[in-house]
């Protein structure tokens, strides 16, 4: 399989250099240790920092900017960043109000994040961590104790980022992030595997009519191999898995993300969304907001995930708040 | 190859239904005859209407909204819409100031657009057409007399849309669009073919180390089959082809689009952009603005194109003007 790259060892470095050149109005990129931070930080604001390996773009670097993240620490492809770049990014974004780490639940990310948090704390920076585990597919996985963190992270980064922008303090943001983690669920599937830059090979094999249901965003095994079905049937299965698990204490308004895994055309994501909207409407659940696109990807994997977050007016106001990043931009 | 769909005959219809449900704040979708128009039209504004087959999303439906298109008429996958939906869309968007059709140069699109324009004119609607032919790859192709229209269309739709929004009249918009067509050039390549919904098969075959240089956005043959090379070498070849052909009368400021063909990860597009920026910088050409992402796609084809548009302050102000569509959104 071919990859558009110069050298697999320079995949992330070259990409970050291009990202820096394309978005110099929004971000600054530190090449070594590698992290992405806002070009302009806001004095006395809590810093929101995301941790996690590369290969999931636009997650997280595409969400650095006003109204969302202050920094993202990417690591190599599908590889946790070490504590060193996390600590450097923490020092850069700390404006005296502390820093909140948003971490998808993968063992390496959590351990390295916690180590960096301890080191930063020893330097007098207030750091708190929130671990995101929205994936309902499996209870434990190859790379996690407990559930994995997947596309729900996009929604949490937006909403927590907006709350930090309006001036919420670190305690309030930890509380909000925790509330969001408990209110969001995701289920995904793959119809074709991604090609890893280092091996140049597909990261797993699927038969011509086979899919992986409950896939992780690194191509980890999910719940089951299944036979390929229609988009409506696949959407139903994913939505059922999400809704069975979703706490509904806040009533019947939700924010829905239909997320592409990388290689799936927008037209097909909208085919899936059509069914999700039809099903939720029939169930009396109001989709207050939606997002359809490839936001938390796995290189060029084909497939989709469905994320549902229960919302109220307070969360919707934060969702609607202005944002200006490479990958999400709206408002003033 | 698997596709996320219910029935190939419903591929576009299901997708448009999902698009309508996801973006009801921005668009209204007419299912039959099929077209997408703004939810709220602006009285006395010239209507900007784009014509062209589906499978290139977000082009064009994702660009309908304030500051860009008033309507898009999609057709089936890689198939021109017939005059009937074009005429219906024309009637819908005409606000008494006339309608401008932006048409990528493909024989079917041009013929059907011209037929619809004649019918609309007979009904008393002022219609003008501008044909976009930015692709430097080939002089004629399977589906065109003359050069093809490809990703440069995104830039033209944005800039002409902004000019219409500020109140330019039909003559001025035709003049502006013509000026843009003469100032923009694109070169693309594919490293993997797309899968067509109807056949379920790859639309062409490439050997393991082979690429198609100068590909069209329907997988039409380009200039040459080549051996796969590094991202920098491929970027150089594409950029050289563009710059050799680009009129430079306006000096040395450009807008650059590095466009993904569908399945190429953002990380790899930024690897390409890194080289483009380096090369233009070394040549003393200032990149005044840039856009990196999958905006004019060919289903799940892998590859990229490079588009360069020469710009001045007047065009940059139109580029920067607010836009609110499903796929491009910035400003207030």
**Residue pLDDT, tens place only, A33-67:** 999 999 999 999 999 999 999 999 999 999 999 99
Our measurement of the distance from residue A152's CA atom to the centroid of its chain's CA atoms, rounded to an integer in Å, reads: 6
| CB atoms inside a 10 Å sphere around CB B89 | 29
Whether B22 and A192 lie within 8 Å, measured CB to CB: no
Which residues of A are less than 8 Å from B54 in CB distance?
A: 267
Q: Helices A266-282 and A231-245, interaxial angle, to 10°?
A: 50
Whether B330 and A332 lie within 8 Å, measured CB to CB: no
Whether A18 and B273 lie within 8 Å, measured CB to CB: yes
Q: Which of A23, A56, A175, A198 is catalytic?
A: A56
Whether B274 and A3 lie within 8 Å, measured CB to CB: no
The domains located in chain A, with CATH, are 12-182 (3.40.50.10440), 184-323 (3.30.1180.20)
Task: Spell out, as residue ranges, where chain B has pLDDT lower than 70.
Answer: 249-251, 332
Which residues of A are less than 8 Å from B324 in CB distance?
A: 330
Which residues of B are less than 8 Å from A269 in CB distance?
A: 4, 18
Task: Read off the pTM.
Answer: 0.97
Distance between B326 CA and the closest CA of chain A, angstroms: 9
Which residues of A are less than 8 Å from B208 in CB distance?
A: 1-2
Residues for chain B: how many in total? 332
Q: Which of B23, B175, B198, B218 is catalytic?
A: B218
**Residue pLDDT, tens place only, B21-55:** 999 999 999 999 999 999 999 999 999 999 999 99
Interface confidence: ipTM more than 0.85: yes
Query: What is d(CA B284, CA B255) in angstroms, rounded to the nearest whole number?
Result: 14
Query: What is d(CA B19, CA B21) in angstroms, rounded to the nearest whole number?
Result: 5
- For A105-242, where are the E strands, in sequence order? 127-132, 184-192, 210-213, 224-227
Q: What is the pLDDT of residue B140?
A: 75
Of the residues A10, A22, A296, A329, the best mutation for testing chain B's interface (the one with the most B CB atoms within 10 Å of its CB) is A22
Please say if B218 is a catalytic residue: yes
**pLDDT over threshold 80, residue A167:** yes
Confidence of residue A220 (pLDDT cuts 50, 70, 90): confident
C-alpha closest to that of B261 among B312, B321, B305: B305
Closest Cβ opposite residue A263 in set B11, B300, B304: B300
Whether B277 and A331 lie within 8 Å, measured CB to CB: no
**Residue pLDDT, tens place only, A290-324:** 999 999 999 999 999 999 999 999 999 999 999 99
**Residue pLDDT, tens place only, A170-218:** 999 999 999 999 999 999 999 999 998 988 888 888 998 999 999 888 8
Which residues of A are less than 8 Å from B61 in CB distance?
A: none
Please state, for a pLDDT cut of 90, what percent of chain A lies above it.
88
| CB atoms inside a 10 Å sphere around CB B161 | 27
Distance between A119 CA and the closest CA of chain B, angstroms: 30
Please say if B60 is a catalytic residue: no
Q: What is the pLDDT of residue A115?
A: 98
Which residues of A are less than 8 Å from B262 in CB distance?
A: 263, 265
Closest Cβ opposite residue B265 in set A2, A230, A262: A262
Distances (CA, A) of B163 to B100, B297, B319: 12, 25, 9
Chain A residue with Cα closest to B192: A2
**pLDDT over threshold 80, residue A256:** yes
Whether A230 and B6 lie within 8 Å, measured CB to CB: yes
Pick the range with the lowest mean pLDDT from A141-145, A237-241, B53-57: A141-145
**Secondary structure string (H, E, C) spanning B123-187:** CCCCEEEEEECCECCCCCECCECCCCCCCHHHHHHHHHHHHHHCCCCHHHHHHHHHHHHCCEEEE
Interchain CB contacts (distance < 8 Å): A and B: 174
Q: What is the pLDDT of residue A178?
A: 98
Whether B5 and A273 lie within 8 Å, measured CB to CB: no
Closest Cβ opposite residue B329 in set A17, A58, A329: A329
Q: Helices B266-282 and B231-245, interaxial angle, to 10°?
A: 50
Whether B302 and A300 lie within 8 Å, measured CB to CB: yes
Closest Cβ opposite residue A6 in set B7, B211, B230: B230
Between vectors from CA B112 to CA B109 and to CA B117, what angle results, nearest 5°?
A: 115
Query: What is d(CA B161, CA B150) in angstroms, rounded to the nearest whole number?
Result: 18
């Amino acid at each position: 399989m071919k990859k558009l790259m110069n050298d697999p060892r320079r995949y992330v470095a070259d990409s970050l250099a291009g990202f820096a050149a394309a978005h110099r109005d929004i971000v600054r990129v530190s090449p070594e240790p590698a992290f992405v931070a806002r070009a302009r930080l806001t004095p006395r604001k809590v810093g929101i920092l995301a941790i996690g390996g590369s290969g999931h773009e636009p997650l997280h670097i595409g969400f650095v900017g006003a109204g969302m993240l202050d920094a993202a620490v990417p690591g190599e492809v599908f590889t946790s960043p070490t504590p060193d770049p996390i600590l450097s990014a923490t020092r850069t974004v700390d404006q005296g109000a502390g820093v909140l780490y948003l971490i998808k639940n993968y063992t390496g990310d959590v351990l390295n994040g916690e180590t960096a948090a301890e080191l930063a704390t020893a330097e007098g920076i207030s750091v708190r961590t929130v671990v995101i585990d929205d994936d309902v597919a499996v209870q434990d996985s190859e790379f996690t104790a407990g559930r994995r963190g997947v596309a729900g992270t996009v929604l949490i980064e937006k909403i927590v980022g907006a709350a930090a922008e309006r001036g919420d303090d670190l305690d309030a943001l930890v509380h909000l992030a925790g509330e969001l983690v408990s209110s969001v669920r995701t289920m995904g599937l793959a119809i074709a595997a991604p090609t890893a830059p280092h091996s140049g090979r597909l990261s797993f094999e699927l038969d011509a009519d086979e899919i992986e249901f409950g896939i992780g965003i690194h191509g980890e095994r999910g719940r089951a191999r299944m036979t390929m079905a229609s988009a409506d049937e696949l959407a139903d299965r994913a939505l059922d898995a999400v809704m069975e698990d979703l706490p509904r204490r806040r009533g019947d308004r939700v924010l829905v993300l239909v997320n592409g895994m990388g290689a799936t055309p927008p037209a097909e994501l909208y085919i899936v969304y059509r069914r999700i909207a039809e099903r939720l409407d029939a169930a009396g659940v109001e989709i207050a907001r939606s997002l359809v696109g490839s936001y938390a990807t796995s290189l060029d994997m084909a497939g989709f995930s469905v994320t549902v977050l229960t919302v109220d007016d307070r969360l919707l106001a934060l969702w609607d708040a202005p944002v200006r990043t490479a990958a999400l931009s709206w408002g003033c």
